Structure 1
């Protein structure tokens, strides 16, 4: 059982490595993707989140009676955002392999905890919506409320 799991993990890691190496060549509508090596800017991220929240608020036509639930939802999502700047990449590289794996597992557990908290906040807010608003939320929410740094993350790894 362990050998099969180990083999599956190695195959998966290899596939991910090949996929990551091919990312710059992949195209969205036929054009190569451009990754800018930019430093994380919390102010820009905050502004982007506020703009997305405003568009969602307008699209859902949140009523005054729903405003409290909306604000509670946004506050919950905001409080569950991962904190940037806490990860020391140089120290991570210096760790022995088992410690790096332990750190990755710890980060994964923290991520799951944040996602579970976001799910609870989403369910509470969703229950306050009318059926029409729920349908619109289902269509528009997509990744609303989820951390979206994957392009930034990939760009950093490609530099190294």
Structure 2
């Protein structure tokens, strides 16, 4: 009887342990699922971008004297964001191979032009930062203004 009770206890503990191990994984899936459901919603995307910009503004401790440069930087990045609806997947699939290649090259040229424009805006803004702010920017802003853009480009086939 003691052996049976011990066996039942071990099995019960294992079941509880597996269930507890699954809880963090399930908790992690919920935000990702929520994000996936709204990632192409322009309003939600703008909210995420605004929240990220605010965090970056606070992290950099932008001074009132730097505020104009910060706003110009954000405006430049925002104007370079690709617009949803510019890519028609169905017509792309129906194009002959040479036209698809031409379209891809055109899209890559557009992407390169956006990156060059973002680089110019970043250099201009970066020059207004103190050395301490530059260090923070270097650490935290590796993908600022680029991460969402690159995700969209992968999604759109560029």
Distance of 1:139 and 1:145 partners within structure 2:
14
Change (3 A) 1:64 1:51: same
TM-score of the superposed pair, with normalisation by structure 1: 0.71
Equivalent residue runs for 1:139-158 within 5 Å: 139-148=139-148
More helix by share: 2
Whether the aligned pair in 2 keeps the contact of 1:37 and 1:155 (CA below 8 Å) is: no
**Whole-angstrom distance in 2 between the partners of 1:57 and 1:39:** 23
Structure 1 residue 124 displacement after superposition: 0.1
The within-5 A match list for 1:1-160 is: 36=36, 40-148=40-148
Task: State the Cα distance separating 1:142 from its structure 2 match.
Answer: 1.7
Q: Is the 8 A contact 2:76 2:121 kept in 1?
A: yes
| TM-score scaled by length of structure 2 | 0.72
Give unmatched runs, 5+ long, in structure 1: 1-29
Determine helix, strand or coil for the equivalent of 1:56.
helix
Larger Rg: 2
Aligned residues of 1:126 and 1:134 also touching (Cα < 8 A): yes
Which protein, 1 or 2, shows the higher relative CO under an 8 Å CA cutoff with sep ≥ 6? 1
- 1:39 Cα deviation from its structure 2 partner: 6.8
| Cα separation, 2, equivalents of 1:83 and 1:147 | 15
* Contact 2:60/2:133 (8 A) holds in 1: yes
Aligned residues: 128
Shift of residue 154, structure 1, vs aligned partner:
6.7
* Cα RMSD, aligned residues only: 2.8
Distance in 1 (CA, whole Å) between partners of 2:149 and 2:75 is 20
The Cα shift of 1:60 comes to 0.5
* Match in the other structure for 1:16: none
Give SS of 2:148's match: coil
